[in-house]
Structure 1
């Protein structure tokens, strides 16, 4: 089609506002002890289920349909944000993230597995090769750096519900990515 364009898109689970506020407080405290990190705007924190990169816009209706169907079949996920981690490893970290309790993590993985299955069935989009780790990216490092995770202790568990699946467009800017909602679907009550 002539008017097809490539978009940078991803599908994510969204957090409740109270959890974003708690993450904002954590980031505010962590920034002072780790100023070299580029910290994520807490309002943009989300749990990416699937990143597409540059994607043909003609896929959007089918991806939206898949996302809506999956959201209608999965109940919202009560979760505790209960750990801090890094990718790829503490000796040469590039990403600092927050993770979930084991029960929530299992349910998130089930949802992601079903999403990948449907994307393959309908659009023949293969799942990523690396293992899916449910996480919330809170900071990125320009160069790999040793990160002592003892410096990043949560004051306690942050309770939330993962309550909807959103299809986002990501626009890269010199100041960082800007995420725009294309469509969203509440998880089953």
Structure 2
């Protein structure tokens, strides 16, 4: 199973973020944009995991001892790629978010999960292989972004799979905060 641990958002927040995705999409020459139902913030990508490791992941998630929290969005940014950039929404610095991800990462490593070893840079991916039209400035979206405040009250273990050629994210387990 291909798994990841994420912060999922309510439908109102997803709709607001999807409006931003559509603004970027309408000002792009090309791109593969995230569907509304797939909008989330990844805490840890686990990759292919055997079913017998699920209980260990749940135990690690249950050890997370954090209060519910809120964060905002900061900007539209991108990771440069030759075939088109990966566009994302930046997340405000938030100690709870960083501490939660760090605890999760360390606990998973201690239980012999193989994870990427790089600095955590929280972001919400909105599109891949994106090339913007000349003259479009993503800074125009800053005011809209800064009005979005996201309440987090749970952490989710998700399965990612293709079914009949369609990407499906399924909830496996949820840990309330």
Q: TM-score, normalised by structure 2?
A: 0.85
> Retained in 2: the 8 A contact 1:90–1:146?
no
**Aligned equivalents of 1:161 and 1:57: distance in 2?**
31
**Aligned equivalents of 2:83 and 2:113: distance in 1?**
31
Inter-CA distance 129–27: structure 2 relative to 1 (3 Å threshold): same
In the other structure, the counterpart of 1:96 is: 87
Residue 110, structure 1, aligned to residue 104, structure 2: no
Residue 130, structure 1, aligned to residue 121, structure 2: no
The one of 3, 9, 14 aligned to 2:8: 14
**Number of residue equivalences:** 173
List per-residue Cα deviations over 1:15-46 (Å, max 9, x = no partner): 23321111111122222111511111122111
Runs of at least 5 residues in structure 1 that lack an aligned partner in the other structure:
1-6
The one of 24, 39, 53 aligned to 2:18: 24
Which is worse superposed, 108-117 or 27-36? 27-36
Give the 4+ runs in structure 1 shifted more than 6 A.
Answer: 146-149
In the other structure, the counterpart of 2:160 is: 170
> Retained in 1: the 8 A contact 2:62–2:175?
yes
Task: Give 1:115 shift.
Answer: 0.2
- Secondary structure, in 3 states, of the residue corresponding to 2:149? strand
In the other structure, the counterpart of 1:140 is: 128
In the other structure, the counterpart of 2:140 is: 153
Task: Give 1:126 shift.
Answer: 4.3
Task: Give 1:56 shift.
Answer: 0.9
Residue 120, structure 1, aligned to residue 109, structure 2: yes
Task: Give 1:91 shift.
Answer: 7.5
Q: TM-score, normalised by structure 1?
A: 0.81
- Secondary structure, in 3 states, of the residue corresponding to 2:90? strand
Q: CA RMSD in A?
A: 2.4
> Retained in 2: the 8 A contact 1:97–1:139?
yes
Task: Give 1:135 shift.
Answer: 0.7
Inter-CA distance 174–21: structure 2 relative to 1 (3 Å threshold): same
The one of 41, 44, 48 aligned to 1:47: 41
In the other structure, the counterpart of 1:79 is: 71
- Secondary structure, in 3 states, of the residue corresponding to 1:178? strand
Give the number of the structure whose residues are more often strand, by fraction: 2
